Amino acid sequence: MKRTWWKEAVVYQVYWRSFNDTDSDGFGDLQGVIDKLDYLKELGVDVIWLNPCYESPDFDNGYDISNYYRIMDKAGDMATWERLLEEVHLRGMKLIMDLVLNHTSHEHPWFQESLSSLDNPKRDYYIWKNPKNGGPPNNWRSYFEPSAWTYHEPTGQYYMHSFAVEQPDLNWENKQMRQEMYEMMRYWLDKGIDGFRLDVINLLAKQAGFKDADEPEGLSYLGNNPGIHEYLQEMNEQVFRNYDIMTVGEIPFVTPEDGLLYVGEDRNELHTLFHFEVADDMPSWDMLRFKEIQKRWYEGLKGKGTNSQFLNNHDHTRQVTRFGNDGMYRVESAKLLATMIHTLPGIPYIFQGEEIGMTGVRYDSIDDYHDIAMKNKYEEEVNKGREPSSVFEELLPLSRDNSRTPMQWADVEHAGFTDGKPWIKVNPNYPSINVEKEMNESNSVFYFYQTLIQLRKRNPVMIYGDYTDLSADEPDLYCYKRSFEGNEWIVLLNHSDAINNLKRLDLDLNGAELILSNYPASESNELNPHEARIYALS
Ligand code: TEU
């Protein structure tokens, strides 16, 4: 496969509202990101993915945009954003913007106009349908609500929303609307950004006929519908192909076969994608299933398209809590997961705080949570007459707020995130888990990430290497080979609280050089709990 800068990149996701607050309003801001760019440079990442910071009433933390051309007050202003871009570039890094094209905010002027009458030209920018038997047009659920439809009394129709009521879906069949979107995308690209993370991009095309779903709970009818590839090819032709950028599509419900249609190098659509077979579909760690997913995606995209590797973003519980051990082996486990993500085929992503081994949270009351997905689900279940405390308990482990707590900079008030009152409570473990502490310990998770990133710069085998699983049936051990132009690496992972013996794997490590380990270097056949090793064979 052709070498490109974005295949070689390590991406760091900045959830700015929880990153660093400089104006004491309790929300992180763009100036706060600027102030921490040297920290990110020291970590060594190449690309920053900035969560949406456009004008928004913030029902879904910026994923409900009311003006694509302005910066949200909480984040700052356009001049600060421009300085951010400049400062990122000055440090030799790149910036990709998170863009939501499937829906807008209900406060977007297009939607406001769309509400005004059946024949307003903006009516067709959204998806409006007549009632069916006095109720919604079909039985579709939305991600955040029991129905994907909301009735608008004055005009007597329902509008569709794949997410919250405040996030009406756009009608991509409308050519005029598509052109306005492409123009807006060129506006940002002409400012010099280096690409986009495209929110739920596979949801743009809706199922023809809007028929009832057999399994409304599954939601998969919302995505990958006929017409999506025509839209993306048009977007590529009118926007992407004219810039040297990186595009990563968020694509739930996708198989490797379909994934290739989005990111195949001969397809002229997107560069890479996030699939959710792990983050959304695998509630807790399942090694055999994880290996099967890796194998299927590797084989599906091999030589033709580029995958992405991540275990959580701002929508999921932090990886060391959900998939590792955030108790007695937190440090080892955080390093093991990092080793895995950075050595499997695909572009590695780091979600802010992961590089210091931040963990999920558990607050006492639903009032401490802000996540609209969790809040709406709580209300829905409680309204069914269920016991509130058991609903709460059920929703805690996967609340999206688990990853949204403020970045832990130091053992000072509010973890050094803000001088004000943080919009969401700081994880109480900040005195022991924070950046300052990590920077003062040579064995820290931070320096382990730094080493992994440096290794990637010098060893194309981590990027372009073929992948072979050498441990398919092992429930705790994961061992694989990467090989590229005569270089062979072996990665050994013991994803378990127990010691595991390597002998079971029948490996020949004679003469192999130990490149990296999260324990003191050892030739032992016994792998310690959560031990990770990388060997070079040649
Ligand atoms: O998420 C899409 C989405 O809802 C899922 O793929 C996600 O993994 C799920 O919420 C897990 O609970 C994107 C954004 O990342 C998310 O923050 C937004 O709320 C959503 O789109 C709507 O724009």
Q: Which of 46, 55, 145, 250 is catalytic?
A: 250
Q: Which of 60, 194, 199, 371 is catalytic?
A: 199
Q: Render pLDDT for 235-267 as a digit per residue (tens, 0 to 9).
A: 999 999 999 999 999 999 999 999 999 999 999
Residue nearest to atom 17 of ligand 1 (CA): 315
Residue 506 is predicted with a pLDDT of 86
User: Are 103 and 166 a contacting pair, CB within 8 Å?
Assistant: no
Instruction: Please give the biggest Cα pair distance in the chain.
Output: 77
For ligand 1, say whether the CB of 199 is within 6 Å of any of its atoms. yes
Q: Render pLDDT for 196-206 as a digit per residue (tens, 0 to 9).
A: 999 999 999 99
Residue nearest to atom 9 of ligand 1 (CA): 315
Distance, CA 315 to ligand 1 centroid (Å)?
Answer: 6
Q: Render pLDDT for 164-186 as a digit per residue (tens, 0 to 9).
A: 999 999 999 999 999 999 999 99
Closest CA to 201 of 298, 125, 68, 103: 103
For ligand 1, say whether the CB of 60 is within 6 Å of any of its atoms. yes
For ligand 1, say whether the CB of 64 is within 6 Å of any of its atoms. no
Q: What is the 3-state secondary structure (H, E, C) of 472-496?
A: CCCCCEEEEEEEECCEEEEEEEECC
User: Does residue 38 carry a catalytic annotation?
Assistant: no
For ligand 1, say whether the CB of 373 is within 6 Å of any of its atoms. yes
Tokens of 469: 């699983």
The percent of residues in the chain predicted with pLDDT above 70, rounded, is: 100
Q: What are phi and psi of 322, to 5 degrees?
A: -80, -40
User: Are 251 and 269 a contacting pair, CB within 8 Å?
Assistant: no
b/e 239-263 (16+ beta carbons within 10 angstroms → b): bbeebebbbbbbbbbbebebbbbbb
Q: Render pLDDT for 318-333 as a digit per residue (tens, 0 to 9).
A: 999 999 999 999 999 9
Tokens of 216: 């409304």
For ligand 1, say whether the CB of 49 is within 6 Å of any of its atoms. no
Distance, CA 204 to ligand 1 centroid (Å)?
Answer: 14
Distance, CA 222 to ligand 1 centroid (Å)?
Answer: 13
**What average pLDDT score do residues 279-293 get?**
97
Query: Which band of pLDDT confidence, cut at 50, 70 and 90, is reported for residue 69?
Result: very high
**Locate tokens 């004055």: which residue?**
154
Domains present along the chain, CATH in parentheses = 11-103+175-362+408-450 (3.20.20.80), 109-160 (3.90.400.10), 363-404 (no CATH), 462-536 (2.60.40.1180)
**What average pLDDT score do residues 461-470 get?**
98
Nearest atom in ligand 1 to the alpha carbon of residue 315 is 11
Tokens of 239: 């926007």
Query: Which band of pLDDT confidence, cut at 50, 70 and 90, is reported for residue 538?
Result: confident
In the predicted structure, residue 127 carries a pLDDT above the cut 90 = yes
Distance, CA 45 to ligand 1 centroid (Å)?
Answer: 24
Q: How much is the mean pLDDT over the chain?
A: 98
User: Does residue 474 carry a catalytic annotation?
Assistant: no
In the predicted structure, residue 1 carries a pLDDT above the cut 90 = no
Distance, CA 535 to ligand 1 centroid (Å)?
Answer: 37
For ligand 1, say whether the CB of 372 is within 6 Å of any of its atoms. no
For ligand 1, say whether the CB of 149 is within 6 Å of any of its atoms. no
Residue nearest to atom 12 of ligand 1 (CA): 315
Residue nearest to atom 6 of ligand 1 (CA): 252
Residue nearest to atom 10 of ligand 1 (CA): 315
- Is 528 strand, coil or helix? coil
For ligand 1, say whether the CB of 252 is within 6 Å of any of its atoms. yes
For ligand 1, say whether the CB of 100 is within 6 Å of any of its atoms. yes
Q: What are phi and psi of 337, to 5 degrees?
A: -60, -40
Q: What are phi and psi of 350, to 5 degrees?
A: -115, 120
Residue nearest to atom 7 of ligand 1 (CA): 315
Q: Which residues are registered as beta bridge partners of 132?
A: 135
Q: Which of 14, 200, 312, 398 to mutate to test the pocket of ligand 1 (most atoms within 8 A of CB)?
A: 200
Distance, CA 64 to ligand 1 centroid (Å)?
Answer: 12
In the predicted structure, residue 523 carries a pLDDT above the cut 90 = no
pTM of the model: 0.98
| C-alpha dihedral, 149 to 152 to 157 to 163, nearest 10° | -20
- Burial bucket for residue 532 (CB in 10 Å: 0-12, 13-18, 19+): buried
